[in-house]
């Protein structure tokens, strides 16, 4: 009779062999999930990968779990066994009633009682999870915990190797492109986003989402629409889920018969799941949707001149709210004067003020630069009201060399305010010359020319709702740095 220790030893041997095989990532992880479930006498297991923002978990391998269970919806890492993110093994003995289970109703329908989550660690960083499932309520023995930790360590090596292979592929592609090749050799699909698109329009849609930094999940959930007794006879799986908009997207082509079928399914889904937000879109519909949700008028192509989006509209707003909360806490019980230098700061300053919860007075300055032996700053518009004895918050759009900011701070300090702090949306440290302290920072950016959200290039791009990198060949960059 095989002992549990024998099963664990055999299981680790099998996993080690699989991790060093030439199988695809998905097939390897499926086999690992099977081995872990068998070795621990569980009904099911899956390997989950954490996205780069540590927000969502994607299944990269599974065994013994129904399609309905696997497609119950996107797993929010902060709602579904959140303690695993901190590197802890989490055990749930009664899944249908445990608040740490994101979809308890699905666990109940599938008779899943026991769930355990084991962190997949790369160094001290959690990059994924192993989860095991049982229809019986039970506990983990110390021997099982050790086996699961070892299995998770092997998964970490496997996922890290896949990520390295992906990086090598990107480098190889860029070198081939730079060499002027007309075509590129076919590369393996992104191993860390295990997606095989059913149609080329879906791949195009995903690329558009990536360009605008919109988080997406591909076919994350299937909805039962019809039943034959207790069995599901028809299901509908929308193409995409956009977590930031809490919206499911089903793409359609111009073929009328397909549009009619999909419209019928979408209508039935809305009737049976009234809380679900779903849209049936053509490409033109999607571009209109982007405009509605604050991504600007995009037309048929990406914004001309912008090489990539560094920070999306949603990311900016989330960060601005966070800064405003911290400012409100730091100045609690006080009144502050918020001062901005025109013109690039106007979008950031306007949004920031809306979220600050303490009394605020606003003032502006304007400056000009002169070229010569060095950069000379001249104040062309000074403050309208005195700031002596008051708490002043200097708001900047971007700080790079710090020379201009250093001059402005010295000018403000001469008015003897009670306190003087600096808040900057962007910090470009690579160009820093003056040692200026930034008390609040939105984002650190690399040494690239950026536009959007108030920042311009030759008077254009200020109205873009995101921050993007201007293409290097789009215009000659100023030797003195970016003038906003």
Query: pLDDT for 389-430, tens place per residue?
Result: 999 999 999 998 888 898 899 999 999 999 999 999 999 988
On the 0-12 / 13-18 / 19+ scale of CB atoms within 10 A, 129 is buried
- CATH class name, domain 197-302: alpha beta
Alpha helix (H) residue ranges in 88-134: 104-109
* CATH code, 4-165: 3.30.450.40
- Four-CA torsion 372, 375, 378, 384, nearest 10 degrees: 170
pLDDT digits (tens, 9 = 90+) for 190-230: 334 445 677 777 777 787 777 766 777 777 777 888 888 77
Decide which of 3.30.1360.120, 3.40.50.2020, 3.30.160.150, 3.40.605.10 is the CATH code for 311-470.
Answer: 3.40.50.2020
pLDDT digits (tens, 9 = 90+) for 57-75: 888 888 888 766 776 666 8
Residue 337: pLDDT above 80? yes
Strand order in the sheet with 306-311: 306-311, 467-470, 450-451
pLDDT digits (tens, 9 = 90+) for 95-111: 999 999 988 888 888 88
Q: Indicate which residue of 239, 351, 397, 400 is catalytic.
A: 400
**Domain coordinates of the chain in residue numbers?**
4-165, 197-302, 311-470
- Residue 400: active-site member: yes
On the 0-12 / 13-18 / 19+ scale of CB atoms within 10 A, 321 is middle
Residue 155: pLDDT above 60? yes
Predicted structure pTM score: 0.48
């Amino acid at each position: 009779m095989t002992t549990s220790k024998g099963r664990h030893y055999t299981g680790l041997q099998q996993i080690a062999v699989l991790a060093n095989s030439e199988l695809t990532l998905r097939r390897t992880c499926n086999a690992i999930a099977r081995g872990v479930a068998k070795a621990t006498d569980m009904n099911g297991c899956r390997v989950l990968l954490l996205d780069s923002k540590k927000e969502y978990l994607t299944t990269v391998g599974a065994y013994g779990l129904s399609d309905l269970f696997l497609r119950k919806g996107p797993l929010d890492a902060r709602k579904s066994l959140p303690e695993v993110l901190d590197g802890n093994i989490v055990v749930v003995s009664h899944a249908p009633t445990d608040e740490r289970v994101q979809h308890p109703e699905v666990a109940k329908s599938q008779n899943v009682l026991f769930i355990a989550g084991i962190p997949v660690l790369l160094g001290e960083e959690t990059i994924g999870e192993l989860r095991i499932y049982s229809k019986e309520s039970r506990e983990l023995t110390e021997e099982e915990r050790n086996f699961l930790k070892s299995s998770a360590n092997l998964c970490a090596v496997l996922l890290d190797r896949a990520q390295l292979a992906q990086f090598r592929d990107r480098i190889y592609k860029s070198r081939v492109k730079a060499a002027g090749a007309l075509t590129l050799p076919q590369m393996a699909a992104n191993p860390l986003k295990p997606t095989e698109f059913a149609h080329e329009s879906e791949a195009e849609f995903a690329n558009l989402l990536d360009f605008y930094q919109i988080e997406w999940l591909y076919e994350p959930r299937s909805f039962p629409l019809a039943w034959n007794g207790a069995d599901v006879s028809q299901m509908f799986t929308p193409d995409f889920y956009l977590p930031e908009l809490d919206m499911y997207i089903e793409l359609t082509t111009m073929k009328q018969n397909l549009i009619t079928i999909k419209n019928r399914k979408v209508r039935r889904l809305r009737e049976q799941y009234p809380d679900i937000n779903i849209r049936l879109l053509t490409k033109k519909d999607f571009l209109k949707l982007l405009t509605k949700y604050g991504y600007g008028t995009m037309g048929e192509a990406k914004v001309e001149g912008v090489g990539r989006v560094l920070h999306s509209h949603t990311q900016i707003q989330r960060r601005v709210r966070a800064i405003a909360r911290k400012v409100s806490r730091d100045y609690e019980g006080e009144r502050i004067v918020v001062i901005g230098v025109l013109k690039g700061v106007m979008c950031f300053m306007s949004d920031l003020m809306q979220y600050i919860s303490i009394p605020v007075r606003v003032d502006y300055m304007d400056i000009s630069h002169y070229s010569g032996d060095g950069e000379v700053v001249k104040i062309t518009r000074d403050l309208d009201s005195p700031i002596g004895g008051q708490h002043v918050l200097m708001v900047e759009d971007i700080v790079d060399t710090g020379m201009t900011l250093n001059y402005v701070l010295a000018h403000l300090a001469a008015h003897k305010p009670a306190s003087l702090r600096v808040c900057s949306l962007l910090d470009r440290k690579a160009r820093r010359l003056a040692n200026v302290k930034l008390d609040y920072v939105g984002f650190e950016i690399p040494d690239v020319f950026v536009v959007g959200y108030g920042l311009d290039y030759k008077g254009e791009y200020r109205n873009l709702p995101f921050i993007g990198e201007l293409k290097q060949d789009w215009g000659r960059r100023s030797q003195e740095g970016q003038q906003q």
